[in-house]
Structure 1
Amino acid sequence: MKNLKIPIKFGIVIAIGLIVYFLITSIFGAHTNPLFSLFNPVIVGVGMFAAIKYYRNQRGSKFKYQKGFRTGLVTGFLATIIFTIFFAFYATEIQPDFIDRLLSMWDSDWYVNIGMVIFTVALMGFATSVVLTLAFMQLLKDSWNTKEGKEHEL
């Protein structure tokens, strides 16, 4: 549990950020416009980068790629799970006609139910978490191409 302290803390903060952003856009009626969901990866990215960097700063020279990668993934996955639960509650209990209004943006003959939309929200969150973790770890990992890195390798 001690190893998950940072991802849990940052994951909850990211989820709160996503929920607040969603509620702010809903005040203006913009939450049914998919264009506004393009800001979600920014919120997730800032939080995940902060989590990995905080973990790296805590570990110092003992920072390992695998542990940093795990920190990023757990942070993003936890934020996704919390936001998906909120989204499901919002779409089914708070505003039951939300899915119909959301899907009216597309002209389609397909039947899409709430489960498919919730699954899509979760899948997009998980995919964003994996991609951002891979990208951030490239920025934050130790380089072995320097003189110091080669000495550390021995």
Structure 2
Amino acid sequence: MKFIMKNQAISIRYGLLIAAALIIYFLLLSLLGLHTDPIYSLFNGVITGAGIYLCIKNYQTYKGMKFKYQKGFMAGIISGFLATFIFTLFFGIYATNFDPNFITEILEGWQNDNNTNIAMLLFVVATMGFATSLVLTLAFMQLFKSSWNTRQAKKDLAS
């Protein structure tokens, strides 16, 4: 039980750090007037990726070189999903309470014939964050997983 709590503590800590970095980056873009340009949201993937990588690396350091793929994957995915959830909440609060023109500015390219509103925008932000977290966690776990091409792994598979 203590192992599960430590795994979750690592994931939660990194999830909070990723969310804080995403929020700070968004606020910095807002100060510069660049927060309505979607090209800058590409850097969100870099921030999320760095946080997930560090989360899995920290988990590996805690567990040692031999750790289960599923546990490392869970650590990365929890941190990414938590960060996405927190950032989406912040984004919704910001878009509805702090900058009333933000929704209009960001959605003006979308509102051709569609009935797009804040709910659709939040859905897109959340979906992008969850997809980024899933793909990056899968990619990073390829770096951290144990190789099955060793003599010991072949012995373990044979038994």
In the other structure, the counterpart of 1:44 is 48
How far residue 105 of structure 1 moved from its aligned partner, in angstroms, is: 3.6
User: Partner amino acid for 2:39?
Assistant: L
Quote the Cα distance in structure 1 between the aligned partners of 2:85 and 2:35.
19
5+ residue gaps, structure 2? none
Deviations 1:19-71, CA, capped at 9 Å, x for gaps: 00000001111000000001000000000000001101111144100000100
Quote the Cα distance in structure 1 between the aligned partners of 2:22 and 2:118.
20
Given that 2:16 and 2:82 are in contact with CA atoms closer than 8 Å, whether structure 1 keeps it comes out as yes
How far residue 147 of structure 1 moved from its aligned partner, in angstroms, is: 2.5
Decide which of 122, 133, 140 is 2:144's aligned counterpart: 140
Q: What SS does the aligned partner of 2:116 have?
A: coil
Within the alignment, does 1:98 sit opposite 2:98 as a pair? Answer: no
Quote the Cα distance in structure 2 between the aligned partners of 1:65 and 1:122.
26
User: Partner amino acid for 1:139?
Assistant: L
5+ residue gaps, structure 1? none
Which runs of structure 2 are paired with 1:85-124 in the superposition (5 Å)? 85-106=89-110, 108-124=112-128
How far residue 96 of structure 1 moved from its aligned partner, in angstroms, is: 1.7
What RMSD, in angstroms, separates the aligned Cα atoms of the two structures?
1.4
User: Partner amino acid for 2:115?
Assistant: Y
Quote the Cα distance in structure 2 between the aligned partners of 1:144 and 1:16.
37
Given that 1:33 and 1:105 are in contact with CA atoms closer than 8 Å, whether structure 2 keeps it comes out as no
Aligned residues: 154
Q: What SS does the aligned partner of 1:97 have?
A: helix
Which runs of structure 2 are paired with 1:18-57 in the superposition (5 Å)? 18-57=22-61
TM-score, length-normalised on structure 2?
A: 0.91
In the other structure, the counterpart of 2:13 is 9
User: Partner amino acid for 2:145?
Assistant: K
Decide which of 131, 135, 141 is 1:131's aligned counterpart: 135
Q: Identity over aligned residues, as a percent?
A: 55
How far residue 103 of structure 1 moved from its aligned partner, in angstroms, is: 1.6
How far residue 151 of structure 1 moved from its aligned partner, in angstroms, is: 4.1
